[in-house]
Structure 1
């Protein structure tokens, strides 16, 4: 088993200064989770490669540092969703300043599973108040069910303990990815760990 070291992470007070109206240009840590085939890894690499790349399921994790459009650096941890990996997710919670959940917006059957898996994560003590970006992928497909259907299926209208944003995107074309990350960076400036 490989254990990760988070020694290079900065305390939230060093990432976000209370006197500043924007996130400092230091590196914030973002946890990205989603069911298999939701498009997490493709979304992770789109801002870097500017093209779609085909991946095999993530075993372990992928990590990349990305510059948002505002120039803020964010490190995104794309962690695999195999059942044996899920107990390890909690090791990432205390260190993240943002949380991305990627769902397949063309497959309504996976939304209930996503709700059952991600609701307890959001309720975890170490994730209290962490801003949430819900990326609804595959918006370019004819079978895309729409943002309101996803919000209803996941019960997002009942999430009141954190800032959250829902954004449609396409890992295939890159549409919506950078705008969504910018929105997460904007929300993060209001987050303080207690």
Structure 2
């Protein structure tokens, strides 16, 4: 996978890591070691998909931000895929106005490029429609939509989906990730990893 051009705003240490491809390689190596320590194969075969809208700081250009009407957030949206242990596999940052279905196509392409063995996935109601069929036909990924029941009120722990929700909670503990401050989406993705 080609590394995007280096943003001018990066610190000198992060710039060196970016130049050497370490912003991609280090998280991958760490994930492989954690998976092996847990008694799993280094390469995942399943993933859970979800998205989170995050407010954008004033430094974020208007061209890369949007308004998520469902969450009432003006900013960006992080689309992620985690494995069964809750470890981050793929991240993509878009304007908050981009729907989960539209971003899901690109997210699944990125997932397939980096993790060829993933054959099973779970997502929320945003993954319905043509995305399920496209995942099956184009990438041979069986994508199952995990929905809340209509009679449930308040917060409910859903099978498999809690893993991706836990990852979002961990990300929000980082002050730098509680709001999107980056001017470029690729820098925001690198910081999230």
State the TM bucket, normalised to the shorter chain: 0.3 to 0.5
Q: TM-score, normalised by structure 2?
A: 0.36
Q: TM-score, normalised by structure 1?
A: 0.36
Going by fraction, where is helix more abundant, 1 or 2? 2
Q: Determine which structure has more spread, i.e. the larger CA radius of gyration.
A: 2
